[in-house]
Amino acid sequence: MFDRENDPQTDIEFDFFEESPTTESAPRKKDSPPGKRPRLPKRPPTPPGGPRLYRLGVLIAGAILLAVIFILVINNCRGDQKQAAYEGYIEDAGTVATESAELGAQLNERLTTPGIRLEALRADVEGLQEQQEQILRRTEDLSPPGPLVEQQEALVETMQFRVSGLSGLARALQLVAQTDDPQESGRNLASPAQRLVASDVVYLDAFKAASESVLKEQGVTNVRVPASVFVQNPEFGSPAFWTQTVERLTQGPEAGGVRGNGIAGVRVQPGGQDLVRGEDNTVEQSADLAFEVLVENSGESQETQVKVILIIRQDPQIRKEQIIDVINPQETKTVRFTGFDTLQFSTQTTLQVQVEPVQGEQNTNNNTVEYPIIFTLAR
C-alpha cells in the first residue's frame, strides 16, 4: 500500500498557494503629503438636541400659529358683539326718541288747529302727557353699553322734561278759565313750555352729539343716532306767543278785531332779487332757484294753519303749497318754495302767489299778487 507518512514527496509544501495576492498602491498625487488620504465631503451638521428637538420646535411653532389664529377669531367675534350691542341700544333709544318727537308734532298740530277751543286743547295735552309717561318708563328700562351710561341718563332726562312740560301745560290751560288776564295766562303757559324747549337742547347736546362722539371713539360704524325735535315753533317758550294763543283760544273770530293776512312781497334767491308788480321780471334759472314769499299778518289776532300757494302759469302749470303754523299780529313770515326743474324759457309767463283768507277776514285785496316773469338759462 501506499504509505503517505513515509513518502518523501508528501513533505513538499506548496507555499505559493498561501501567499496573499499582491496589490499595487495607488499613485500619490504630487502635492499630497505622504501618508494622508484626501478629505471626503462632510455630512450636514445635526441640529442641537437631535431630530426629536427639531420636531418639538415645529410642533411649538404650529401651536403658536393656531393660538394666534384663535385669538384673531375671538377678537373678531368680540368686535361683532360690540357692534351689535351698540346698534341694539341706539335702535331702541331711537325708537322712543322718534315716538316722543311724534307727540311733539301732534301737540303743534292741535295747538294750531283753527277754531279749537280751550277745553278740547287741554284734553289733548293730557292725552299726550299720558303717552309721554309710557315712553319715559320704556326709556328707563334701556340698558346701554358701558361707555354710553351718561348718554342714557341724558335720554331719560329728556323724557322727564317732556313729561313735566306737558303736565305743566295741562295745568296752566286749566287755569286760563280762572283769569281774565291773557298776559298772566301767557306767563303761566310759557314756564312749562320752556321745559319742552329745554328737552330738545338736552337731547341734541347731551345725548345725540355725545353718543355720536362715543361711537366714533369706540370704532362703531354705520350707526345713526336719530334726531328728536319736540318743539316745532321757535317762539314756543315766549310769554308773548302764549298770550296771543290764549286770546285766540278764548275769543271768537268776531271778538278778535281786524283779522287777515297779506302778501308783502316776493324775493328770488340766490341773489335777493325783489319782484316788481306790473313790470317784466327776468329770472335766471339755477339748480338752487327759490322764491321767498313774505306773508304779513295785518290783523289784530293770531292766525294758525295759514295756507300759502305759489303758481307759475305755463303748460304744464306749476303749483306749490305750504302751511304757516302760527303767525302773530303784525308779524311777517317768510315761506320758501324750491324745486323748479321744469320751467319754460324765453317766454313771458305769470307768477302768482296767494295767502288763503282766514275766518272773519274782511279785506282780501292783498291776498293775491301776480308778477310778469321771464325765465332765462344760466349764463
Q: Are residues 109 and 173 located together in one domain of the fold?
A: yes
Helix (H) or strand (E) holding 321: strand 318-327
Q: Are residues 259 and 242 located together in one domain of the fold?
A: no
Neighbours of 96 (CB within 10 A): 23
Q: Are residues 217 and 87 located together in one domain of the fold?
A: yes
Phi–psi pair at 215, nearest 5 degrees: -60, -40
> What pLDDT was estimated at residue 35?
56
Q: Are residues 87 and 207 located together in one domain of the fold?
A: yes
Q: Are residues 221 and 311 located together in one domain of the fold?
A: no
For residues 295 and 306, the answer to whether their CB atoms sit within 8 Å is yes
Distance CA 287, CA 9 (A): 141
DSSP assigned state of 18: T
What's the whole-number average pLDDT of the chain?
86
- Residue 115 placed within a domain: yes
List the single range of 41-55, 72-86, 238-252 with lowest mean pLDDT. Answer: 41-55
Mean pLDDT of 336-344: 93
pLDDT in tens, 176-208: 988 889 999 999 999 999 999 999 999 999 999
Q: Are residues 208 and 261 located together in one domain of the fold?
A: no
> 175: domain range?
70-250
If one counts the domains in the chain, the total is 2
Q: What is the dihedral of CA 222, 223, 229, 230, to 10 degrees?
A: 150
Q: Are residues 84 and 200 located together in one domain of the fold?
A: yes
CA distances from 20 to 14, 17, 214, 348 (A): 13, 8, 100, 136
With residues binned 3-state (H G I as helix, E B as strand, rest as coil), the percentages for the chain, rounded to 5, are 45, 20, 35
Distance CA 363, CA 367 (A): 9
Cell 347736546 belongs to 205
Distance CA 324, CA 293 (A): 11
* pLDDT above 90: percentage of residues in the chain: 64
First to last CA, the chain: 153
Bond from prior residue into 34 cis (ω within 30 degrees of 0): no
Distance CA 131, CA 99 (A): 9
267: domain CATH number is 2.60.40.10
Q: Among the ranges 4-8, 162-166, 296-300, which has the highest mean pLDDT value?
A: 162-166
Q: Interhelix angle for 51-111 vs 210-217, to 10°?
A: 170
Residue 38 has pLDDT above 70, yes or no: no
- Residue 13 placed within a domain: no
- Residue 266 placed within a domain: yes
CA distances from 34 to 4, 38, 40, 41 (A): 53, 11, 17, 21
| pTM for this predicted structure | 0.69
Last residue of one domain, picked from the residues 250, 282, 298 = 250
Residue 46 has pLDDT above 90, yes or no: no
What are residue 269's DSSP bridge partners? 290
> What pLDDT was estimated at residue 332?
95
Q: Are residues 204 and 279 located together in one domain of the fold?
A: no
- Residue 10 placed within a domain: no
Q: Are residues 326 and 283 located together in one domain of the fold?
A: yes
| pLDDT category of residue 76 using cuts at 50, 70 and 90 | low
- Residue 54 placed within a domain: no
| pLDDT category of residue 63 using cuts at 50, 70 and 90 | confident
Residue 262 has pLDDT above 60, yes or no: yes
Residue 137 has pLDDT above 90, yes or no: yes
> What pLDDT was estimated at residue 70?
62
Residue 297 has pLDDT above 80, yes or no: yes
- List, as one string, the DSSP characters of 198-243: HHHHHIIIIIIIHHHHHHHHTT--S--PPP------TTTT-HHHHH
Distance CA 288, CA 32 (A): 101
Q: Are residues 225 and 261 located together in one domain of the fold?
A: no
- Residue 294 placed within a domain: yes
Q: Are residues 76 and 194 located together in one domain of the fold?
A: yes
Contacts of 141 (CB under 8 A, 6+ apart): none
Say which amino acid occupies 91.
Answer: E
DSSP assigned state of 279: S
Neighbours of 48 (CB within 10 A): 7
CA distances from 200 to 88, 207, 229, 297, 325 (A): 23, 10, 6, 29, 19
Say which amino acid occupies 51.
Answer: P
Last residue of one domain, picked from the residues 250, 266, 282 = 250
| pLDDT category of residue 47 using cuts at 50, 70 and 90 | low
What are residue 338's DSSP bridge partners? 290
Q: Are residues 227 and 204 located together in one domain of the fold?
A: yes
Residue 1 has pLDDT above 50, yes or no: no
- Residue 32 placed within a domain: no
Residue 354 has pLDDT above 90, yes or no: yes
Measure the CA angle with vertex 172, ends 171 and 174; round to 5°: 65
Last residue of one domain, picked from the residues 185, 217, 250 = 250
- Residue 35 placed within a domain: no
